[in-house]
Amino acid sequence: MPSKLLQKQWLFATLVSRLLLRAHELGYHVALGDAYRDPRVFGQLGTLKGYGHGKSCHKIRLAVDLNLFTPEGEYLASTEAHRLLGEWWETQHPDCRWGGRFSTPDGNHYSLTHDGMA
């Protein structure tokens, strides 16, 4: 039986494919930002090295940052620009979290919770 983490990673990959399709349906162009944050560069889970959070879901392959663009190529950097997509993401599974709701908003962050991390 695969571990709970591996099962969540499989689910996350499926949900991200839907997220990308939804972004295109809403008229955005998307470039991928951070997904996996390698512990050799960012430290082991629980350790803050570089940027981000020490207990980031990026370190366990349960988070992705998306960069949204208008059809004309304008980069949409604000959290507000991600709101429609982020709110849709939250409806896809009870563990889906959008970074626009974090205490320090991170609008381009989309993740699945795991062991209290988002």
Residue 105 falls inside a structural domain: yes
The 10s digit of each residue's pLDDT in 36-75 is: 766 755 555 545 555 555 468 888 999 999 999 999 999 9
pLDDT (average), residues 19-46:
81
**Which range marks the domain in which residue 11 is found?**
4-112
Answer yes or no: is 21 within a domain. yes
Assigned domain for 118 exists: no
Span 72-84, pLDDT tens digits:
999 999 999 999 9
On whether the pTM is more than 0.85, the answer is yes
Per-residue pLDDT, 46:
46
SS (H, E, C) the chain: CCCHHHHHHHHHHHHHHHHHHHHHHCCCEEEECCCCCCHHHHCCCCCCCCCCCCCCHHHHCCEEEEEEECCCCCEECCHHHHHHHHHHHHCCCCCEEEHHHCCCCCCCEEEECECCEC
Give CA–CA dist 71/97, Å, rounded.
Answer: 26
For the stretch 79-113, pLDDT in tens is 999 999 999 999 999 999 999 999 999 999 999 99
Domain assignment present for residue 79? The answer is yes
Q: What is the CATH number of the domain that holds 55?
A: 3.30.1380.10
**How many domains does the chain contain in total?**
1
Contact 78, 100 (CB under 8 A): no
Q: How confident is the model at residue 24 (pLDDT cuts 50, 70, 90)?
A: very high
- Residue 45 covered by a domain: yes
